[in-house]
Amino acid sequence: MNAAPTAVYSPRSLATALAVLADRAPVTVLAGGTDLMVELRTGRTQVASVLDLWGVEELRFVRAEAGGVRIGALTTITELRRQPSLGAWPLLAACAADFAAEQIRNRATVGGSLGTASPAADLGPVLWALDAVVRLRSRDGVRDLPIPAFLLGYRRTARRADELIESVWLPGRLPTERGAFVKVGTRDAQSIAKVVVALVASRDAGSGQVTAVRAAAGSVAERTVELASLQELVGRRPDAAALLAVSRVAASRDCAPIDDVRSSAVYRRHALQRVVCDMLTSTLEVPLEDG
Ligand SMILES: Cc1cc2nc3c(=O)[nH]c(=O)nc-3n(C[C@H](O)[C@H](O)[C@H](O)COP(=O)(O)OP(=O)(O)OC[C@H]3O[C@@H](n4cnc5c(N)ncnc54)[C@H](O)[C@@H]3O)c2cc1C
């Protein structure tokens, strides 16, 4: 266990929090603490001083904005599941239902998940599939970064040391869209994913052609990745064989899994292919082939 921080700042306003970040560097941000406290206990992270955001109510909100919804960084996983105004984004609740267990969900925040940028995070694929835009705020202003530009690598983000993750914006969804979230873990509760996938897709009611598909996966590369090969489906009326083929391509081209304590690279590719094929079959309502 490492030495205690020399200072813990517990501001009540966003302006004060930003001033601490700007003037007292290096400062480590603390939200729910479900990642950071583990890191401190194991000694994997050393901190000089801590900025405890929990009392900054300005970061705890969900509100309609610009054709979508803006979710404050301190919104907890529990709130993603319970907040009625997030009903139009059912993938959030699906993800929250499979996230850890209740005690963790009550503390773990959206900003903390983004801040850790774990390749195994459940929210990463969901926010990617939903075209989320992360808002970073410093004393100098704001920067809005789409998820692919924010998640740079293994536990690495585009956030500068003087910036806070303030919120995330999600665009509204089309009524024709269907989505799915699947997490493959060792057990139902308290399990970090071996593979996790979020997918949204829609097709034209008349022609049956796929009009849009977006999917992203976790635990299969050094960061959350998009399953870009699935774009091949757009403009087509795929049958079961086509879905099988495209899911095989995605599992081979779009990811780079490794062997680690939770699973093997071979299993991860296999599971990803099966999960993606099933998700495409159900969201696009493609009949299964006989035999
Ligand atoms: C038992 C257990 C089970 C878990 N199960 C799951 C699971 O099923 N799925 C899953 O995805 N994760 C899981 N986690 C990981 C963890 O709960 C999540 O990553 C959570 O979202 C982290 O949020 P937090 O508020 O606790 O972050 P914290 O631990 O407070 O912070 C995490 C990181 O983000 C930074 N940070 C936090 N907020 C901000 C901000 N607003 N601006 C800038 N930086 C910020 C911190 O500096 C730190 O680096 C689990 C953890 C535990 C201990």
How many domains would you assign to the chain?
Answer: 3
Q: Which of 151, 171, 191 is the last residue of a domain?
A: 171
Do 237 and 267 fall into the same domain? yes
Do 216 and 256 fall into the same domain? yes
Tell me the two tokens of residue 96: 């929250």
Q: Is residue 1 part of a domain?
A: no
Residue 76: pLDDT band by 50, 70, 90 thresholds? Answer: very high
Q: Is residue 254 part of a domain?
A: yes
pLDDT, residue 29, reads 98
Do 190 and 127 fall into the same domain? no
**pLDDT for 245-271, tens place per residue?**
999 999 999 999 988 888 899 999 999
Would the pTM count as exceeding 0.85?
Answer: yes
CATH number for the domain spanning 233: value is: 3.30.390.50
pLDDT, residue 192, reads 83
Do 67 and 166 fall into the same domain? yes
**pLDDT for 129-149, tens place per residue?**
999 999 999 999 999 999 999
Do 235 and 155 fall into the same domain? no
Q: Is the pLDDT of residue 228 over 60?
A: yes
Do 229 and 156 fall into the same domain? no
Give me the percent of the chain exceeding a pLDDT of 70. Answer: 97
**What is the extent of the structural domain holding 45?**
7-52
Lowest mean pLDDT among 29-33, 55-59, 198-202, 287-291: 287-291
**pLDDT for 77-108, tens place per residue?**
999 999 999 999 999 999 999 999 999 999 99
Cβ of 164 less than 6 Å from ligand 1: yes
Query: What is the rounded CA–CA span in Å between residue 179 and residue 129?
Result: 9
Q: Is the pLDDT of residue 37 over 90?
A: yes
Q: Which atom of ligand 1 is nearest to the CA of 122?
A: 11
Q: Is residue 199 part of a domain?
A: yes
**pLDDT for 176-225, tens place per residue?**
999 999 999 877 666 788 999 999 999 999 999 999 999 999 999 999 99
Cβ of 125 less than 6 Å from ligand 1: no
pLDDT, residue 139, reads 96
Coil/strand/helix, residue 119? coil
Cβ of 75 less than 6 Å from ligand 1: no
Q: Is the pLDDT of residue 290 over 60?
A: no
Contact between residue 213 and residue 115 where contact means Cβ atoms under 8 Å apart: no
Tell me which residue of 265, 260, 270, 5 sits closest to 118, measured CA to CA.
Answer: 260
Q: Is the pLDDT of residue 3 over 90?
A: no
pLDDT, residue 262, reads 85
DSSP string, 177-239: -EEEEEEE-SSSSS---SEEEEEEEEE-TTT--EEEEEEEEESSSSS-EE-GGGGGGBT----
pLDDT, residue 5, reads 76
Question: Which residue out of 9, 14, 21, 29 has the highest number of ligand 1 atoms within 8 Å of its CB and is therefore the one to mutate?
Answer: 29
pLDDT, residue 73, reads 98
Cβ of 185 less than 6 Å from ligand 1: no
pLDDT, residue 188, reads 67
Do 85 and 128 fall into the same domain? yes
Cβ of 166 less than 6 Å from ligand 1: no
pLDDT, residue 1, reads 45
Q: Which of 153, 171, 189 is the last residue of a domain?
A: 171
pLDDT, residue 151, reads 98
Q: Is residue 84 part of a domain?
A: yes
pLDDT, residue 241, reads 97
What spacing in Å lies between the alpha carbon of 69 and ligand 1's midpoint? 22
Cβ of 224 less than 6 Å from ligand 1: no
Do 253 and 237 fall into the same domain? yes
Q: Is residue 47 part of a domain?
A: yes
Cβ of 103 less than 6 Å from ligand 1: no
Q: Is residue 166 part of a domain?
A: yes
Do 263 and 276 fall into the same domain? yes
Q: Which atom of ligand 1 is nearest to the CA of 39?
A: 29
Do 116 and 155 fall into the same domain? yes
Minimum CA distance residue for ligand 1 atom 51 = 34
Q: Is the pLDDT of residue 291 over 60?
A: no
Q: Which atom of ligand 1 is nearest to the CA of 36?
A: 29
Tell me which of 151 and 262 has the higher pLDDT. Answer: 151
Q: Which of 16, 33, 52 is the last residue of a domain?
A: 52
